[in-house]
Chain A
Amino acid sequence: MREARRKTPEELLRLVQAEEASARNGRLKVFLGYSPGVGKSFRMLDEARRRRERGEDVVVCAVQPDVPPGAEAVLRKLEVIPLKSVGGGTAMDMEAIICRRPGVCIIDGLAYNNPPGVRNATRWEDVQDLLEAGINVIGSINIHYVAEVREQIESITGRYPTETVPISFIKCADEIEIVDAPPEESIERSSEDDVDASLREQQLSRLRELALVLAADVVDHQLAAYLERHGIPQHYGTNERILVCITPRANVQEMIQVARTVADRFHGELIVAYVHQAEISAADQAGLEERLALARSAGAEIEILRGHDPADALLDFARSRGVTQLFIGHSQRSGIWSRLWGNPADKLIRRSQGMDVRVFPQ
């Protein structure tokens, strides 16, 4: 039996938030693809068909203008609320949808911008209104249109997307499903003969990787919410989280460099932590600032911890965040003192059950 444990205020807050999120009325399911032609719309419409056949009240509220081959027949069997024309563009007919109150709305192209004159500027905001009104939504989106990966998309495709959905919207989806296929197939389907096929294949592979990682992150979020809801204080280690422990004089360059590489290769997270010490010298303060700046430029999340025992503070934090790898410096203490009593590195190694410790040259 595990010992009963009182929840910290932060944990209680997260629990309340998790409950609120799951109490939102409508459910959102997202089909995520990495390229047009990979088959998201088809998969979405296929699910609509299955639900319809099981007697659910399914209504199509938005589809792409060019319906994928094979999907037309499915579409003909479903009820459709057509887009309405507003000031030279089109938008979902929100009044008609809310008035009709379907059990499930099928909404393709979540990233579309609405034309001026419509209440919401974008389609995903319309979706949010529908969810709040208690209507379930099944939508689809391409990785290209996720706001937070715009720079990466631009560096891969050379085009900067102007219509986007924030990642937070996708992360709060109740379900996500990735529509995966190797790039060669999607190239065949999009029949672009004039582009350099191998270059395009590499680009698509990069996008595919991005989409898979985003889906994994959404799933990680769901897992964390589940563990939170069920009061399970452990973590599964499905996502590698690297915690680099620094001190004002530590030789951190190599630590941060290796940590960054490991985090990137594992598509994991990088955190750099420092345990606050009262009354440090001006030189140490400057050294610390320099090291934190280095961590920041490596894109690490920075945590300043408090606690009178640094090892305890670090390990408590590491456990609460599901850290899988702890990076520390070799202790500079040697001789009789460390022989007798061990050194701080020993203490961290000794007490870090369930995670790996990587000790670095100093």
Chain B
Amino acid sequence: MEPGRGRLKIFMGYAAGVGKTFKVLEEARALRSESVDVVIGYFEPHGRKDTIAKAEGLEMLPRKRIAYRGSVFEEMDTDAILARRPRVCVVDEYPHTNVPGSDRTKRWEDVEVLLDSGIDVLTTMNIQHLESLNDQIWQIAGIRVQETIPDWVVQQADEIVMVDLTPGALVHRIQRGVVYEREKAERALRNFFRESTLVALRELALREAAHEVEHRIVNEEATTRKQEGNGARTERQHKILVLVLPDPETAMLIRRAKRVGDFLGAECFAVAVQPTGDLSNLPEADREAIEQHLNFARNLRIETRILEGEDVAPTLVEFARRNQVTQIFLARPREWRWCRPFSLNLVQRIVRLAKDMQVVIVSPREPVMHEDPESVPQPDRS
């Protein structure tokens, strides 16, 4: 018999040390006490005593050793897990990037393989790795998170559990050396773990968890409606069109458009406009930039296209009209050249041409400035 797809459960936190791995192992133990066949496929002890104690007595599969540039790295051994065929597998650090030379680039791709073979997976991640929040994390923490995970990967989880801890308690744990060694702890407290950053990340995580819960309710209700034969939605369908330019702001634009689209239940497409309908005439740097943006969009499951047209503004708006687009998303240009009479910039021209639809001009966010970089939260001794 063909096995059904496994169930995915994500333990979501807002920072290292809130207790995700601990929670996931606790759940694994509870399952084992109910005689469920559960193994640890990969777990990162970070030298934390409580966590290591929780893993004791659970079956742990050996890691795969991969040599890269003269060093040996350890990764999850997906083939070994498939051969062992447990009912449930614990996989820590969902957004992890595998070392080059591994079968798959990302750990979440390994998890896909496990799920496809019918194994349930319990995994962990922090909110800052969610792709669509990358710019907000930049605004909050002044850090560009490189290791991101596309939103659709997280959305397909059957369950998301928020692992919560107050920032005060977290800081106290860091100060006691539970999370990091002394030196690293002090650095962490000055940078990523400042009070306002933690509070803001926690708020984002709570809102994201609430959104994920709602998303599942809405999906379920839609399924029920379909089963009852009332499939027709009264709500007008939103359709979003994103303009891809070589500018670096385009990545931010794509993320934001996708996020808004996901929240509104809208379809999204991303297009570039070129006189030849392909990228062959562009200087190398621009061509690469556009290709990268289009690739990025496709990874987020956005349909992409290159439109043929001499003039970007009318080509884009014409295409939008023909395809019943309701909203055009544009990036705010970094320099707003506007004082020259009779020379409107691209955004102004599109806004003037697209008077029959919504046009959203998305602004890059800048990190919040702090006057007191040393500020550390008051420990809450819980």
Contact = CB atoms under 8 A, between A and B. Distances in A.
A215 interface: yes
Nearest to B355: A330
A206 B218 CA distance: 10
Given A230-B371, A355-B363, A356-B363, A267 B140 contact: no
Interface stretch (A9-17, A175-183, A304-312): A175-183
Given A219-B199, A261-B264, A358-B358, A180 B162 contact: yes
A89 B359 CA distance: 62
A205 B348 contact: no
A237 interface: yes
Interface residues of A, number: 67
Contact of B359 (A174, A205, A358): A358
Interface of B: 9, 136, 139-140, 159-166, 168-169, 195-196, 199-200, 202-204, 206-207, 209-211, 213-214, 216-217, 220-221, 256, 260, 263-264, 327, 332, 336, 338, 341-342, 344, 347-348, 351-352, 355-363, 365-366, 368-372, 375, 380-382
Given A205-B213, A359-B358, A178 B199 contact: no
Contacts of A266: 207, 211, 263
A208 B213 contact: yes
B357 A356 contact: no
Contacts of B140: 236, 238
A342 to B, nearest CB: 6
B159 A182 contact: yes
A100 interface: no
B361 A357 contact: yes
A interface SS class? mixed
Contacts of B348: 342, 346, 349
Contacts of A216: 203, 206-207, 210
A84 interface: no
Given A50-B382, A236-B139, A362 B166 contact: no
B207 A213 contact: yes
Contacts of B209: 180, 212
In this complex, the member of B263, B264, B366 whose beta carbon has the largest number of chain A beta carbons within 10 angstroms is B263
A321 to B, nearest CB: 15
Given A177-B165, A212-B209, 16 more contacts: A29-B380, A51-B382, A178-B162, A212-B210, A216-B203, A219-B202, A226-B196, A230-B371, A230-B375, A262-B260, A267-B210, A346-B351, A357-B360, A358-B358, A359-B359, A361-B356
B161 A353 contact: no
Contacts of B372: 230
A2 B382 contact: no
A208 B375 CA distance: 33
A6 interface: no
Contacts of A353: 332, 363
A54 B381 contact: yes
Given A175-B168, A212-B162, A349-B347, A238 B263 contact: no
Interface string A15-38: 000000000000001000000000
Interface in A47-73: 47, 50-51, 54, 56
Interface in A206-264: 206, 208-209, 212-213, 215-216, 219-220, 222-223, 226-227, 230-232, 234-239, 258, 261-262
B207 A236 contact: no
Contact of B206 (A178, A179, A265): A178
Contacts of A265: 211, 214, 263-264
Nearest to B136: A237
Nearest to A236: B200
B319 to A, nearest CB: 18
A239 B203 contact: yes
A359 B354 CA distance: 10
Contact of B139 (A237, A342, A357, A362): A237
Nearest 7 pairs of A and B residues by beta carbon: A212-B210, A216-B206, A265-B263, A219-B203, A180-B162, A182-B159, A238-B203
A205 B366 contact: no
A356 B362 contact: yes
Interface string A330-362: 100010000110100110011011111111111
A202 interface: yes
